[in-house]
Amino acid sequence: MRPLREPLESERDMTEEVTEETAPPTMAQKIAAEAVGTFVLVFFGCGSVAAWNAAAGGFDPLATAFAFGLTVLVSAYAFGRISGGHFNPAVSLGAALGGRLSWKDFGIYAAVQIVAALVAAGVLRVLLMGFDGYDVDSAGLGANGFGEQSGFTEYAWWAAFLLELVMTFVFVMVILAVTDERNRAVAALAPLAIGLTLTLVHLVGISATGTSVNPARSIGPAIMSFNGDAILQLWLFILAPALGGALAGLLAPVLFGRDKDPIPGSGLSAGSGGSSNPGFTQQWAQTGQPGQAGQPGQHAQHAQHGQVGQQPDQPIIQDGWQWDPVAQQWIPAQQQAPQAPQQGGWAPPGGDDGHTQVRPPQ
C-alpha cells in the first residue's frame, strides 16, 4: 500500500546522501584493504631487516621494531574503517572467536593475507637482487626461526613456542580492547595503541625468534627465501600465533563482556546468530541514529531474534523521529507507530484527519 504522499525532493536528497555516506564496504573493498595492508606490513617490516643485512651485513633491532609498528599504525588508520585492519590471520581468528567476524569472512581474510604476504616477499626478493653480491637464498628475507635459525642464540623450540603464543595473546587482546565500541573516548587512538604494542613485542622477541605474532608475515618470507630451515620451522610460527590469537578471542568477552551481540556465523556457536535475550537497546544500537540508514543484514538479524512484530513499552524518540520496530524504519515522532499490515507491504497508521505523513520505506 502506497504512502499518502510522495517524499519531497529535499527528503529524497537527504536520504540518498545519508545512504551513500553510511553504506558499508563491500567484500571486494575489504579484500583490497587487507591485501594492501598486509603487503605494506611484510614489505616494509621484513624489508627493514633484509635491506640492512644486504647493505651493512646486519640490522638494527630498534629500527626493525619501529618499522613493523609504524606500518601497522599507518595501515590501520588508512584501512581500518574498511576491513577492520587485521593484516594478520591470528587477529582475524581472535575476532572470529570473539564474535566480531564470521567464519566465512575469516577464511577469506586469512587467504588474502597469506597471498599478499607471499607477493610482498617476492617483490622484496627481486629488489634485493639489486645489491651486488648479495645472496638472498642464504641471507633470507627476514624470516622467523628458533635455535641457530634465529640468527642470534640457540633458543629452544618450546621456549620459542611459548614466547610467540604469549606475545600474540597480548597483541590480539590489546586490539580487541581498544577497538571495543564502549571505548569510544579513545577510538581515534586505537591504531596508535596497536602499532606501539607491535613495536613492544618486537623489542622483546627479535633476539629469540625474530618476532612473528603473524602467520602470514612468517609464511611469505620463509617460502620466498627458498630457505629449507625456515620452511621446516614454519609450523611453530603458524601454530603458536594462532593459539595466542584464539585464546585472546575466547577470553576477551569472558573477562570484559561484549560491546554488542556476536555477528551471525561467528564464535563457538556459529549458527546461533547472537544472544538468546536481545532487547530493544541492542536493536537501537544496531539500527543507527535517526536519519541514518541501517546496515544491511541487521533487519534479518532482528527477525532471527524474534523482535519483529513486538512493540516496546517505551518507544525510542530522537530529533523528532520515532523508531518503528515493525516497519524497521523511522517515522515522525508525533505520530503513532504503524500497525503491521495483514497482507504484507506498507500500511500508514490510522488517524482522525486521514493525512498522516510517514517516511516511505527505503
H or E element in which residue 318 lies: strand 317-318
Encode pLDDT of 103-117 as tens digits. 999 999 999 999 999
H or E element in which residue 192 lies: helix 190-209
Which DSSP string corresponds to 35-87? HHHHHHHHHHHHHHHHHHHHHHSS--HHHHHHHHHHHHHHHHHHHHHHH-S--
Is the model's pLDDT at 207 over the cut of 80?
yes
Q: Provide the percentage of residues in the chain whose pLDDT is more than 90.
A: 50
Instruction: Please tell me the predicted confidence (pLDDT) of residue 9.
Output: 59
pLDDT tier, 139 (very low <50, low <70, confident <90, very high otherwise):
low
Instruction: Please tell me the predicted confidence (pLDDT) of residue 7.
Output: 55
- H helix count then E strand count, the chain: 13, 3
Is the model's pLDDT at 356 over the cut of 70?
no
Is the model's pLDDT at 51 over the cut of 90?
no
Q: Which residue has the higher pLDDT, 183 or 10?
A: 183
Residue 143 is assigned to a structural domain of this protein: yes
Mean pLDDT, to the nearest integer, of 298-326? 57
Rounded Cα–Cα distance for residues 234 and 8 (Å): 62
What mean pLDDT value characterizes the chain? Answer: 78
DSSP structural state of residue 309: T
Instruction: Please tell me the predicted confidence (pLDDT) of residue 228.
Output: 85
Domain of residue 126: give its range.
Answer: 24-256
H or E element in which residue 331 lies: strand 329-332
228: CB partners within 8 A, 6+ apart: none
Mean pLDDT, to the nearest integer, of 122-141? 81
Instruction: Please tell me the predicted confidence (pLDDT) of residue 115.
Output: 98
Q: Which residue has the higher pLDDT, 201 or 314?
A: 201
Instruction: Please tell me the predicted confidence (pLDDT) of residue 130.
Output: 84
Encode pLDDT of 39-48 as tens digits. 999 999 999 8
Q: How many angstroms separate the Cα of 171 from the Cα of each of 91, 168, 265, 305?
A: 8, 5, 24, 33
For 153, the 3-state DSSP assignment is coil
Instruction: Please tell me the predicted confidence (pLDDT) of residue 119.
Output: 98
Residue 13 is assigned to a structural domain of this protein: no
Burial class, 32, CB count within 10 angstroms (exposed 0-12 / middle 13-18 / buried 19+): middle
Rounded Cα–Cα distance for residues 264 and 104 (Å): 10
SS3 content of the chain, % helix, strand, coil (to 5): 60, 5, 40
Residue 291 is assigned to a structural domain of this protein: no
Instruction: Please tell me the predicted confidence (pLDDT) of residue 362.
Output: 46
Q: What total of structural domains would you count in the chain?
A: 1
28: CB partners within 8 A, 6+ apart: none
Instruction: Please tell me the predicted confidence (pLDDT) of residue 325.
Output: 76
CA dihedral 104, 107, 108, 109 (to 10 degrees): 110
Residue 19 is assigned to a structural domain of this protein: no
Cell of residue 147, nine digits: 635455535
Q: Letter for the amino acid at 189?
A: L
pTM of the entire predicted model? 0.70
Residue 339 is assigned to a structural domain of this protein: no
What is the CB-side half-sphere exposure of residue 79 using CA atoms within 13 A? Answer: 21
Q: What is the CATH number of the domain that holds 59?
A: 1.20.1080.10
Residue with grid cell 602470514, as numbered in its chain: 216
Residue 221 is assigned to a structural domain of this protein: yes
Instruction: Please tell me the predicted confidence (pLDDT) of residue 348.
Output: 39
Instruction: Please tell me the predicted confidence (pLDDT) of residue 349.
Output: 41
Encode pLDDT of 151-200 as tens digits. 666 889 999 999 999 999 999 999 999 999 998 888 899 999 999 999 99
Residue 189 is assigned to a structural domain of this protein: yes
Q: Phi and psi for 332 in degrees, rounded to 5?
A: -55, 135
Q: How many angstroms separate the Cα of 163 from the Cα of each of 104, 229, 299?
A: 29, 20, 44
**Biggest alpha carbon distance in the chain?**
90
Instruction: Please tell me the predicted confidence (pLDDT) of residue 152.
Output: 60
Encode pLDDT of 255-288 as tens digits. 999 988 999 999 887 654 444 333 333 333 343 4
Instruction: Please tell me the predicted confidence (pLDDT) of residue 122.
Output: 95
Residue 145 is assigned to a structural domain of this protein: yes
